Amino acid sequence: MSHATAADRIFLGRQPILDSDQQVVAYELLFRNSCHNAAAVTDGLQATAIVIANAFTELGIEAALGCHRGFINVDEHFLFSDMLELLPRHAVVLEILETVPPTPAVIDRCKALRAAGFTLALDDVIQLAPEYAELLALVDIVKVDIQPLSRVELMQLTMKLKPMGKQLLAEKVDSREQMEQCRKLGFSLFQGYYFAKPTIIAGRKLDHSQQSLMKLMGLLLSDADTAALEAALKPDPALTVNLLRMTNSVGSGCPERIHSLNHAITALGRRQLQRWLQLLVFSSGQPAGPGNPLLLLAATRGRMMELLAEELSPGDTTLADQAFMAGIMSLMPALVGLPIADIVAPLGLGSELRDALCEGSGRIGSLLHIAEHGENGDLDGLAATIAELPGLTPGIVNQAQALALQWANRIGQESPAA
């Protein structure tokens, strides 16, 4: 199967999985075969299996995951596909869907996969039905859907699971309170966008560093000279250090050590410097530093949109810059708990960028919808939006997402000398 064929036959979404320190440790990867042929279901499932296996090599997803693992949904048909065994065992967790019946054949297959070195998880557990006891014994991770469960029901379920020695993952965590409750019950993994909910940190104002960054971003967008940029940084030496630390990270792609802002501008160029400033809005004042989930989400979103803008309009650096800026800025409400309109008002943004952020309109608005659909796992919405943009295909979007994830993962991995 050729690169283009494999890439174009799937849509890829992803949702982060966090540990108790709110650091990203894995992603659930959501695949769908874009060719629905009801007359040849078995062939279609085999094709999906081939596509998923190829995605790890052809789309570079294994590299994109970095040190994180990818959780992959496995239905009953896919479970018995030989193609499943092409997946890299160390890089994936096979997530057995709740629709898979615990038949003797399923149990035997799971035993064989476990013996072959695969890590197994059981998805969407809300009760312990007796017929699932044997399958439950074979999995390493149990994913509990906390939404339909009351506090008492969740506590009772957890008390039954804990003696089994399984790693517990709480799904659909919507608030920090839920996350803390699950952590106290013994859960060690968490899935959901609770960390990006504006209500968690509602009303928080930009700190001094973030205000300086906003000012610097405005100077860069207006093409101010280097002296003006340095003058804006001087009142905030901590920010300067943070900027140099990030530009010296392996994510910058710059082979030489950066020692001053002037050096950074010369070595990296203004477009690259603008990206670091935009990302630093998220890392400054954040207890988790460059590795925090919201920063990774913002970096991935911005970079993916930039790559897609380059596909839509090759050579149009203005569109690419605006797409990156829109990706980063779109998550500012989650960071500071303010409406996007209030955040963009003082920045003097162009109408296309402002309308994309505030109304979701125009080409940049469509790119923003693509990024959001992929993050939320809305694969139907993703397909519909891709179809609205001539020149984009599922394969191009998948490739951009994989490259963006690689880029974002490197940002949090400073070199030892940084």
Note whether 95 and 121 are within 8 A (CB).
yes
pLDDT at 243 over 70: no
Q: What whole-number distance in Å separates Cα of residue 207 and Cα of residue 242?
A: 15
Query: In this predicted model, which residue has the larger pLDDT, 156 or 66?
Result: 156
Residues in the chain: 418
Tell me how far apart the alpha carbons of residues 4 and 401 are, in angstroms, rounded to a whole number.
15
Residue predicted with more confidence, 207 or 138: 138
Residue 310, pLDDT score: 95
CA–CA separation, 189 and 169 (whole Å): 4
Q: What is the mean pLDDT of the chain?
A: 77
How many Cβ atoms sit within 10 Å of the Cβ of residue 314? Answer: 10
Pick from 233, 286, 239: nearest CA to 262: 233
**Residue 290 pLDDT:** 42
Q: What pLDDT does residue 202 have?
A: 38
What is the domain partition of the chain in residue ranges? 3-192, 208-411
| 76-93 per-position pLDDT tens digit | 888 988 778 778 888 899
pLDDT digits (tens, 9 = 90+) for 320-341: 888 988 888 888 777 666 788 8
Q: Is the predicted pLDDT of residue 370 greater than 90, yes or no?
A: yes
pLDDT of 39 over the 90 cut: no
Lowest-confidence segment of 106-115, 283-292, 370-379 by average pLDDT: 283-292
- Residue among 108, 102, 297 at smallest CA distance from 196: 297
- CA 50 to chain centroid, in Å, comes to 24
Residue 71 or 343, more confident: 71
The 3 state secondary structure assigned to the chain is CCHHHHHHCEEEEEEEEEECCCCEEEEEEEEEECCCCHHHHHHHHHHHHHHHHHHHHHCCHHHHHCCCEEEEEECHHHHCCHHHHHCCCCCEEEEECCCCCCCHHHHHHHHHHHHCCCEEEEEEECCCCHHHHHHHHHCCEEEEECCCCCHHHHHHHHHHHHHHCCEEEEECCCCHHHHHHHHHHCCCEEECCHHHCHHHHCCCCCCHHHHHHHHHHHHHHCCCCHHHHHHHHCCCHHHHHHHHHHHCCHHHCCCCCCCCHHHHHHHHCHHHHHHHHHHHHHHCCCCCHHHCHHHHHHHHHHHHHHHHHHHHCCCCHHHHHHHHHHHHHCCHHHHHCCCHHHHHHHHCCCHHHHHHHHHCCHHHHHHHHHHHHHHHCCHHHHHHHHHCCCCCCHHHHHHHHHHHHHHHHHHCCCCCCC
- On whether the 3-192 domain is CATH 3.60.150.10, my answer is no
* Higher pLDDT among residues 96 and 347, named by residue: 96
107-111, 214-218, 389-393, range with the lowest pLDDT: 214-218
Query: Between 15 and 165, where is the model more confident?
Result: 165
Mean pLDDT of 162-183: 89
Q: Which residue has the higher pLDDT, 333 or 164?
A: 164
Q: Which of 16-30, 38-52, 191-205, 358-372 has the highest mean pLDDT?
A: 358-372
CATH fold of 208-411, please? Hypothetical protein af1432 (1.10.3210)
Same fold? 3-192, 208-411 = no
Tell me the pTM.
0.69
Tell me how crowded residue 93 is: count the other CB atoms within 10 A of its CB: 23
Tens-place pLDDT, residues 247-295:
665 455 556 666 666 776 676 677 777 777 767 665 554 444 445 677 7
Cβ–Cβ under 8 Å, residues 14 and 375 = yes
Q: Closest Cα to residue 29, out of 3, 2, 56, 8?
A: 56
